Amino acid sequence: ADVERQNEAFFLSMVEKRPFVTVKLAMSLDGKIATRTYDSKWITQQHARRMVHELRAQSDAVLVSARTAIRDQARLTVRDIRGCFREPYKVIVDPAFELPLTHPLVAGQYAHRLILITRKTSSLHKERQCVKRGIHVHRVNSTKAIISPQRVLDILHQYEIRSLLIEGGGELVGRFFDARCVDKCLFFYAPLIIGGRNAVASVAGTGASRVMSATQMRIVSYEKVGKDLLVTAYPRR
């Protein structure tokens, strides 16, 4: 069992031909990842944030939605970590190609490690500019305003990405739960109550219509990380 846990990403990717998907969320005790004004810095404390950088260093790729990347000006890099590691791919699901060409992910030093997944109907001009910078652009033939998690995982498997860390936002995470494409959860809870009916929920998507059909989780550990609490859980298959 210990060997399987230590090599869980490798074993699953070999069998199912897709990356092992870990969802990491930092939230308040009432399950909010941002306030009603979309403020999210910082919900968790320094110890938890440092652990997130360790998780990135251990992952082949980090995934967020375009709107999360834009709102947070996310770089998704590994910082303040010693030792040998390879900078993970940064994956952006961007159906409408909203990511500006001036964004740090596009204009920064790791542009060649950026995988941008969009629809075939989005801007060709932006694609040309991105390709010139070494960015990997994939167009998906989708009639909907969303791109299916299964299609995203199929694309990432082509890059031999075996471990994928999803860091938000709530809609993207919800779609992966709806599609039953989540393999592990790392939930950091801060001792805060954000409240507000318009605050951003940690998991959105369609969700369960009845409690009986909700995703059943198996909690394997919980630990204090500074002032925060980390819960590690796996969906029951």
What does the pLDDT average to over 155-178?
Answer: 94
Please report which confidence band the pLDDT of residue 146 belongs to, taking 50, 70 and 90 as the band edges.
confident
User: Pick from 201, 237, 203, 202: which is nearest to 217 by CA?
Assistant: 237
What does the pLDDT average to over 119-137?
Answer: 90
pLDDT, residue 112, reads 94
Please report which confidence band the pLDDT of residue 82 belongs to, taking 50, 70 and 90 as the band edges.
confident
The answer for 31, left when phi > 0, alpha when psi is -120 to 50, beta otherwise, is left
C-alpha triplet 58, 55, 48: angle, nearest 5°: 160
pTM: 0.92
Quick: pLDDT tens for 16-33. Answer: 999 999 999 999 999 999
Residue 101 has pLDDT above 90, yes or no: yes
Q: How far apart are CA 178 and CA 194, in angstroms?
A: 25
Residue 64 has pLDDT above 90, yes or no: yes
Q: How many Cβ atoms are within 10 Å of 207's Cβ, its own excluded?
A: 13
Please report which confidence band the pLDDT of residue 188 belongs to, taking 50, 70 and 90 as the band edges.
very high
